[in-house]
Amino acid sequence: MMNTLNPDEVKKFQAMASEWWDPQGKFKPLHQLNPTRLAHITQQITSHYRRDSQSTLPFKGLRLLDIGCGGGLLSEPMAALGADVLGADAAQNNIPVARLHAQQSGLNIDYRNTLAENLLEEGELFDVILNMEVIEHVANPSAFLDACGRMLKPGGLMICSTINRNIKSYVVAIFGAERVMRWLPIGTHQWSKFIKPVELQKMINQAQLNIQDQRGFVFNPLKWSWSISAKDLSVNYVMSIVKPMDSIDKKDYSLNVE
């Protein structure tokens, strides 16, 4: 089975683990984006599973995987909405930070230092998979997406976000965020690992999954705020992906890598 671990990428996030919950720390851009992506994720899940967003625990009964969970910025609100959450991360230092914060928040979340392919081998299955800002950090994006897809139950929903690869994304995500604004340590992202929407679409098709929705996360420097766009996928973008109801799981769990 393909190992999707990228040791160099893991080291970067290991070094920043203690700052996950500091809104003014090294994850400040993620804290700024989080309300917008949370709203989108919640809307996509409630719509897909026809849940009442106004109910106390709209995600009750749904098993959710937050792959690349970091310190739990998404795992916690999903658990608070009633989901049975498994948060997985390749960076070992992230897990105790996530566990401690969840305990302080009074939330029961299953955090594990593991990889997608390990969870797949263990036979884990999920109604929802959050695959947010992770795929550009793994060694083999196609194998990683395939492993995630195999863990989705038929009819299940995966929400995947990443960064487009073009001149604008280099200027905004690397030169601007890392070198000018100093929001992130230099070297956090590698432009060559960014993924164009057409490339992600191809991976999704190869994994025998279907795209249900795609949007852009757009930052407005004048208003200093994020918003969702139906058209602008030029930098940050997100896709909602569904596993067909008639999908038959492959019993050998071998990953398709081309």
Instruction: Label residue 257 by pLDDT band (50, 70, 90).
Output: very low
The reported pLDDT for the residue numbered 180 is 46
Confirm whether 179 is domain-assigned: no
Which band of pLDDT confidence, cut at 50, 70 and 90, is reported for residue 104?
very high
Residue 132 domain-assigned? yes
Name the residue with higher pLDDT: 51 or 191.
Answer: 51
Is position 169 within any domain?
A: no
In a domain, 86, yes or no: yes
* pTM over 0.85, yes/no: yes
Domains held by the chain: number = 1
Give per-residue pLDDT as tens, 25-53: 878 888 899 999 999 999 999 999 999 99
In a domain, 51, yes or no: yes
Name the residue with tokens 């004048």. 222
Residue 178, pLDDT above cutoff 60: no
Q: What is the mean pLDDT of residues 69-75?
A: 96
The answer to whether residue 152 is domain-embedded is yes
Q: Which domain holds residue 65?
A: 7-164+193-242
Number of helices (H) and strands (E) in the chain: give both, helices first.
8, 8
Between CA 176 and CA 184 the distance in angstroms is 10
**Residues 108-131: pLDDT tens digits?**
999 999 999 999 999 999 999 999
CATH of the domain at 121: 3.40.50.150
DSSP-derived secondary structure for 82-96 = T-EEEEEES-TTHHH
Distance CA 56, CA 82 (A): 8
Q: What's the first-to-final CA gap in the chain, in angstroms? A: 13
- Assigned domain for 183 exists: no
Q: How confident is the model at residue 175 (pLDDT cuts 50, 70, 90)?
A: low
Dihedral sign computed on CA atoms, order 3, 38, 227, 188? negative
Locate 113 and state its tokens. 């230092």
Task: Find the mean pLDDT for residues 198-202.
Answer: 98
Listed as own residue / partner, the contacts of 17-26 with beta carbons closer than 8 Å and 24 or more positions apart are: 17/71, 17/91, 17/93, 17/94, 17/97, 18/93, 18/97, 20/70, 20/71, 20/72, 20/73, 20/94, 20/97, 20/98, 20/101, 21/71, 21/73, 21/97, 21/101, 26/183, 26/184, 26/185
Q: Let me know how long the chain is.
A: 258
71 occurs within a structural domain? yes
What is the C-alpha radius of gyration for the chain, rounded to an integer number of angstroms? Answer: 17
